[in-house]
């Protein structure tokens, strides 16, 4: 099931279940590590799908501090660009994780706008090996993106698992 919201006729948020590396959008967001190196999870999948050129393109931008974003070409992906953002590692919520996670979404959208992109797809940042609880991360993702919906014509929240989608949909419905 896909949910859309259209604050006006030119802006939308869509929640989808799927593989972010297959999306035909202007940019996909990579849940990166500070070194911007190929890693596990969504980061590893994006690097594998894009090809070795992506790792080489990332190196001039490393290190990337937590909460910031960088942009590279998409190389072998359908997406024209990859926006790399470094989410916080979960330490129980006492070390500014919520603000850093919100900054990831905000910085990524603003970078997409600066580059005149019309569509961007996000994974669930920090919920994999960085350990951020899915329900809390979903609330931050949805609320931050909804604050900035007017900035981007099309935003996709691409969930890799049914549980991630359930959390995103619940957060979205709570916000409405």
Q: In the predicted model, is pLDDT for residue 4 greater than 80?
A: no
Asked whether residue 1 carries a pLDDT value surpassing 50, the answer given is: no
Residue 145 clears pLDDT 50, i.e. is over it: yes
Q: Across the chain, what does the average pLDDT equal?
A: 92
Q: Quick: pLDDT tens for 22-73.
A: 999 999 999 999 999 999 999 999 999 999 999 999 999 999 999 999 999 9
Is residue 30 within 8 Å of residue 43, measured between CB atoms? yes
Q: How confident is the model at residue 175 (pLDDT cuts 50, 70, 90)?
A: confident
Lookup: tokens for 105: 């979404």
Q: In the predicted model, is pLDDT for residue 96 greater than 50?
A: yes
Confidence check: pLDDT of 119 > 70: yes
| Rounded Cα–Cα distance for residues 113 and 153 (Å) | 10
User: For the domain that residue 137 is a member of, what is the CATH number?
Assistant: 3.40.220.10
Structure confidence at residue 108 (pLDDT): 97
Query: Which residue range is the domain that position 76 belongs to?
Result: 3-175
Q: What is the 3-state secondary structure (H, E, C) of the chain?
A: CCEEEEEECCEEEEEEECCHHHCCCCEEEEEECCCCCCCCHHHHHHHHHHCHHHHHHHHHHCCCCCCCEEEEECCCCCCCEEEEEECCCCCCCCCCHHHHHHHHHHHHHHHHHHCCCCEEEECCCCCCCCCCCHHHHHHHHHHHHHHCHHHCCEEEEEECCHHHHHHHHHHHHHHC
Q: Is the pLDDT of residue 3 over 70?
A: no
Domain count, the chain: 1
pLDDT over 60 at 8, yes or no = no
The two tokens of residue 59 are 């190196």
């Amino acid at each position: 099931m896909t949910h859309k919201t259209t604050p006006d006729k030119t802006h939308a948020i869509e929640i989808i279940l799927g593989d972010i590396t297959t999306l035909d959008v202007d940019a996909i967001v990579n849940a990166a590590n500070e070194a911007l190196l190929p890693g596990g999870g969504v980061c590893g999948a994006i690097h594998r799908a894009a090809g070795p050129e992506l790792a080489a393109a990332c190196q001039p931008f490393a290190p990337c501090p937590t909460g910031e974003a960088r942009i590279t070409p998409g190389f072998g992906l359908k997406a024209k660009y990859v926006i790399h953002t470094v989410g916080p590692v979960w330490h129980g919520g006492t070390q500014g994780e919520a603000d850093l996670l919100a900054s990831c979404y905000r910085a990524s959208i603003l970078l997409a706008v600066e580059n005149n992109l019309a569509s961007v797809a996000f994974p669930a940042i920090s919920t994999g090996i960085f350990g951020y609880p899915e329900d809390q991360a979903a609330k931050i993702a949805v609320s931050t993106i909804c604050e900035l919906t007017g900035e981007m014509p099309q935003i996709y929240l691409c969930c890799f698992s049914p549980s991630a989608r359930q959390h995103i949909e619940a957060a979205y419905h709570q916000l409405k």
